[in-house]
Structure 1
Amino acid sequence: MTLTIQNIKRVGSDTTESVTIENGKIKGWNIEPEGETIDGKGGTLAPALIELHAHLREPGQTEKEDLHSGLAAAAAGGYGTVVCMPNTSPVIDDPALVRSLIEKAGALGLARLKPAAALTKGQKGEALAELSYLKGAGAAMFTDDGRTNENARVLRLGLEYAGSLGMVISVHAEDATLRADGVMNEGPVSEALGLPGNPAAAEAARVARDMELVAQTGARLHVQHLSTARALDIVREAKKRGLPVTCEVCPHHLDLTDEALRGFDAIYKVAPPLRTQADADYLLEGLLDGSVDCIATDHAPHTKAEKERDLLEAPSGIAYIEIAFPVMWTKFGDKLGLEKLLDLMTAAPARVMGWPEPSLEAGAPADLVVLDLYTEREVNPAEFKSKAKFTPWQGQTLRGWPLLTVVDGKVAYRRE
C-alpha cells in the first residue's frame, strides 16, 4: 500500500512538503505522489504519540471501555502506540490473554496495542506472575498498576527477575496505609470540605522505598503518574546516584489542582489525587529540566453512573486520551515549546521502554500524526470515540487537534 500526504509542514520546519509512505515505512519526502493522496491541510507532521499508561478495560469491564473504543480514542488523540494496564477482569497475567489482546487489536486497524502484564498473579502482590512467558507472549512491561506493591520483598524479587529479562517494571507508588481512605489531597481544601485526605507523604514514602530496591537490584523501574514535588525530588536524587529510574507525569496533574474538588464533583477524583498549584508548577519545572522523563495520560474510563456517585464512593480516574495533546499544547505549549512537548510524548516514552526512537527520515516506520496547531475547537465529549463521554475540559477551547493519524502506514484516524 502506498500513501502520500501533501500540504504538510515537517515539525521544526516552515516549508510545505509531502511525504510518501509505502509498505508501512516512509518512502521519501517531496517525491512524485503515489497511490492514495491525502491533503494535510497545512498541518504539522510529527511522529505519532506513544502512550505508556492507559486503561482499556478489556477483558471484563467493557461497559467502561473496550479495545475498539479505547484504541479509536487513542488514534483520534494522535497516538500510534498504547500500553494498556493489566487491572482488568480477569487480570492480564496469562500469556494466552496477552497474545489474544494483541491479535484482536491488530485486526482493528487503529492504534497499536502493547499490553502490560501483571507483575504478580492476580495483582495480589503475593507471588510473581510467569514473567518470562508473559514477555514471550508480547507483554511490554510488568506492573500491578491499580494496586500498590505493599510487599517490598516481592517487588525486589520482581525487579531481579524483570532485570534478567531486560524488562521494565512500572509502579503505582503510594503507601496504602498512609493513603488509607483518602479521596483527595490532604490539605486545607480537604479540611474545609470535611473529606478524608491522601497525604503527599503516601507517594513520597513509597517512591523512597522503591528507589532503595532499585539501588539493591540494579533493575529498571518506571514511576507512574508522579503528583508531588517531594516525590519528584526523591526521583531526582536517585538519578543523581545513577540509578536506572524513570518517571512520568499526567496532564491532569499539571492543569488541575485540589481546588477543583470544592464542588464535590467526582469527575476530578483520581489516584494519586490532584495536588496543589505548587506541586503542579514543580512538576512542570521537572518536565522543563528533564527530571520528568515523559508524559502519560493514565486514561481511566468509567461509566457516567459511577462517576456521578459521591466522592467517597466514586471510582478514581479521568478519561481524556483524545484531547491530551490539545490540553498540553494549549496550556503549556508556550513554556515547553513544540519540539520539547512532542519529544515528551513520542521519543521520550520510547526511551523509557528501550524502543527505537521514532523518526521522520526515509526508511523509518510510518507511525505519524498531522496536527492542527492553530485552529481553536471547543471540547465536546459527545464526539469522543471513548465510551467515557465526559471530561473536566468540557466546553474549553483548545488548539493542537490531530487531523490525521497513520499507524504502520495505514490511516487509523482522519478528522472529517
Structure 2
Amino acid sequence: MTGTLLTNITLADGRRADVRVADGTVAAIRQAGHGGPAELTLDCTDLLLLPGLVDLHTHLREPGKEDAETVETGTQAAAMGGFTSVHAMANSTPTADNASVVEQVWRLGRAAGWCDVHPVGAVTVGLGGESLADLGSMAASQAAVRMFSDDGMCVHDAVLMRRALEYVKAFDGVVAQHAQEPKLTAGAQMNESELSGLLGLGGWPAVAEEAIIARDVLLAQHVDSRLHICHVSTAGSVEIIRWAKQRGIAVTAEVTPHHLLLTEELVRSFNPVFKVNPPLRRDEDVQALRAALADGTIDTVGTDHAPHTAETKQCEWTIAAMGMTGLETALPVVQEAMVETGLLDWAGVARVFSATPARIAGLSDQGQVDASGVPLEGSVANLLVWDPSARGVVDPARHATRSRNSPYAGRELPGRTVHMFYRGQRVVADGALATAYRHEPVAP
C-alpha cells in the first residue's frame, strides 16, 4: 500500500508535511522529506492542504430544471470549487418534499460521483407554506435527510414553523430558514435604501429578514430545537443571532460569499447578474457579516449556488430571476474578503468551510480535522490542494456549471484548485476535472 504522496505541502497550521493518501484515507502525515515512496508523487511546494469543503446551501435544479443545471454538472462545479459535500435544496420540479424525490437526487449524486450529495427536504408540501411535508419519511429514506428548508420561500406561518422545529427533534434534524417576511417584500427588487429610491426599484427592507430571525430563534428556544439561518445579509440579523447564541439558543447561521464582498452599488448597472435573494446590501452590512464570520457569530459559508438559464437571467432587471452561481468562486471570494484582510487564517477557513458545516449536518464520514484544520490520520481522504498565490480573471464560459450567471465575470480573484481528492480518488488533477475518473458507488 503506497498510494499517492503529496510532498512538501503546507498544512493549515503552517507546517510543511508529506501526506500519503491510500485506500481512500489519509494514511499518514509525516515531516516534509520523510514521506517515503509512493505509486504517484505530487510535488506540492507552495501549495496548501485543506479539508474538502462542505456546502449547506446548493441548488442543483435536477429534477425538472436540467436546462439550468444537473446533478452531474453541479457536482463537477463543486469539485472544481474544492467541495466534497453539497446539500441540494428542495426547490426542484417536482419539489423534494417526499422520500421518492430525495432518494432520486441522492441516487443521481452517487451515480455522478464527483462529491457527496445530501438532499435537503422541503419543510412544507410543494413549498406552499400550508401543511408540513412528510419529514419523517424523508429522514427514514436512503437519503437520510437531516436538513429541511423551504429555501426560496419563507416558512412564514409561526405555527407551522413551531411544528417543524418540534418534529425534527425526533431524529436530530435541523430546519434551515429562508428569513423573508413576504408581506414586507412584495414587489421588492433590491435592498431598501436611498439608492433603491433613486433607481426606482422596489425596496427590500432589512427588517423583513430580521423580524423572521427574531421570531424563529425564540421559537427554537421555546421548543428546544435546532435552527439554521440561511444566507444572513444584514448587520441587524447578526446582532439578533449574537443575542440568541449568548442565551444558549441552538441557532447556527451561514453567509454567502457574495454578501461578504459585493454591495448594492452594483445594482446601478441594472445588470441582472447582481439580482439575488436576499439582495446585495450596504457596505456597512458587508463589514458586519465579515466580522461575524470571523468571531463565530456566523458559523459557516454557504454558496447559495443558484444557476439560471440565459433566458431567465439575461433580460430586464424587473423580470430577471434571482440568484448567482457560486460553487467555483466561493473559496477565492473568501480568500479575498477574509484571509487577505486578516480576518481569518487558513485554520479558520477550514473551520467555517468544512468542520463546522459538517458538524451542523451531522456528516460523520466527511473527513475529520483537528482544531487547526489539519486532517486526522485514518480519516476519509476528502482533501483540497489549493494554490493561494494564484490569481485569475473569472470567465464563466470556462466554469463546469451549466449556467453562466456569475457576478464575478471579468473580476480578478485569488486562489486556484490544483488537486481535489474525494474519498481518496483524485477528481481534479492539475486544475482540471479528471474526466476519465469513474468510481464504484460509495457506500451510503
What's the TM-score, normalizing by structure 2?
0.90
Give the AA of the match of 1:401: R
Distance, in Å, in 2 between the alignment partners of 1:129 and 1:41 is 51
Task: Provide the alpha-carbon RMSD of the alignment.
Answer: 1.5
Q: Given the alignment of the two structures, is residue 364 of structure 1 paired with residue 379 of structure 2, yes or no?
A: yes
Question: Residue in 1 aligned with 2:115?
Answer: 111
**Among residues 259, 276, 284, which one is paired with 2:290 in the alignment?**
284
**Match of 2:21?**
21
Shift of 1:37: 3.6
Give 2:408's match in structure 1, choosing from 389, 393, 397.
393
Instruction: Tell me by how many angstroms 1:331 deviates.
Output: 3.0
Give a deviation string over 1:37-59, Cα, whole Å, max 9, x none: 44435411110111000101010
Consecutive unaligned residues in structure 1, runs of 5 or more:
none
Most deviating of 4-13 and 31-40: 31-40
Alpha-carbon contact 1:293-1:352 (below 8 Å) kept: no
Identity of aligned residues (%): 35
Asked whether 1:302 is paired with 2:308, we answer: yes
The code of the aligned residue for 1:11 comes to A
Aligned residue number for residue 413 of structure 1: 428
1:142 to 128, 145, 148: 148
**1:234 is matched with which residue?**
240
Q: 1:390 to 1:14 in 2, by over 3 A?
A: same
**8 A Cα contact 1:159 1:219, kept in partner:** yes
- Distance in 2 separating the partners of 1:55 and 1:390: 13
- The alpha carbon displacement at 1:345 in A equals 0.7
CA distance in 2 between partners of 1:187 and 1:244 (Å): 32
Cα-to-partner distance string for 1:272-304 (whole Å, 9 max, x where unaligned):
111101111111111122111111110001012
CA drift at 1:260: 0.6
Supply the distance in 2 between the matched residues of 1:282 and 1:26 (Cα, whole angstroms).
37
Please state how far the C-alpha of 1:129 moved relative to its aligned partner.
1.5
Deviations 1:66-102 (A, max 9, x none): 1011000010000110011010000011212222222
1:7-63 per-residue CA deviation (whole Å, 9 max, x = no partner) reads 422222342x32222222111124433334444354111101110001010100011
Aligned residue identity for 2:137: Y
Equivalenced residues, count = 415
CA contact (8 A) 1:222 1:247 kept: yes
- Equivalent-residue separation in structure 2 for 1:32 and 1:288 (angstroms): 38
* Amino acid of the structure 2 residue aligned with 1:233: E
Query: SS in structure 1 opposite 2:319?
Result: coil
Which consecutive residues of structure 2, in runs of 5 or more, have no partner in the other structure? 370-374, 433-444
Structure 1 letter corresponding to 2:356? A
| Equivalent position to 1:205, from 207, 211, 217 | 211
For residue 244 of structure 2, what is the amino acid of its counterpart? Answer: A
Matched, 1:333 2:333: no
Answer yes or no: is the 8 Å Cα contact 1:25–1:408 preserved in 2. Answer: yes
* 1:103-133 C-alpha deviation (Å, 9 max, x unpaired): 2211222021111111112111122122121
The one of 57, 72, 82 aligned to 1:68: 72
Task: Give 1:264's aligned residue.
Answer: 270
Partners of 2:393 and 2:317 lie apart in 1 by 27
* Aligned counterparts of 1:62 and 1:11: Cα–Cα separation in 2: 37
Query: Given residue 53 of structure 1, which amino acid in structure 2 is its aligned partner?
Result: H
Instruction: Give the equivalent residue in structure 2 for 1:10.
Output: 11
- Provide the rounded CA distance (Å) in 2 between the counterparts of 1:135 and 1:319: 28
Report Cα offsets for 1:233-260 as digits up to 9, x if no partner.
1111111121100111111111111111
Q: 1:94 aligns with which of 73, 85, 98?
A: 98
CA distance in 1, matches of 2:10, 2:242: 36
What CA distance in whole angstroms lies between the structure 2 residues aligned with 1:107 and 1:367? 18
TM-score of the superposition, structure 1-length normalised? 0.96
8 A Cα contact 2:146 2:171, kept in partner: no
